[in-house]
Amino acid sequence: MTNDPSTCANMNIRRTARQIGQFYDDHMSGTAIRATQFSLLVLVNRHAPAPISHIADAISMDRTTLTRNLRLLERDNLVEHEPGADARTRLYRLTDQGKHAVEEAQIFWDAAQTKLLTRFGEQRWKALRAELQAVQACLSES
């Protein structure tokens, strides 16, 4: 192993993730939500009503960070929660305003996705996505 930061998987993936996030945010600047919010809202909507543990597992995010993000979305009236089967469980879903925000942002997200895949190449993206899933799988092994 070398101590060369240019070979660091963590740094390279985080840098790429920031660039991709900025690319999507630039395309979605005409909407009320950011790209990260869009992705989380779509995920919540897909699994709703869902407890935070289920959402956290689906997005591979720790529950504390997810709770903070969901509180911000609640503050903006994009998500809401209701009590679950026991007092400790909250079930999250989109509000009507959240559903509208996703519908409104979808065209901008689609444009960003299409542009990225056109530039990078669909086959290359499929291969990279498979490799990223393999990395995720090896890191989740105990």
Q: What one-character-per-residue DSSP string does 12-62 give?
A: HHHHHHHHHHHHHHHHTTTSSS-HHHHHHHHHHHHH-SEEHHHHHHHHT--
Amino acid occupying residue 12: N
Task: Tell whether the torsion through CA atoms of 86, 90, 93 and 98 is positive or negative.
Answer: positive
Phi, psi of 85, deg, nearest 5: -65, -30
The per-residue pLDDT of the chain, averaged, comes to 94
Return the minimum-mean-pLDDT range out of 27-31, 86-90, 118-122: 86-90
pLDDT at 141: 81
Inter-residue contact 101 to 32 (CB < 8 Å): yes
pLDDT at 5: 80
At 110-121, the pLDDT tens digits run 999 999 999 999
CB-based contact 35:24 (threshold 8 Å): yes
Q: Are 92 and 80 in contact (CB under 8 A)?
A: yes
| pLDDT band at residue 96 using 50, 70 and 90 as cut-offs | very high
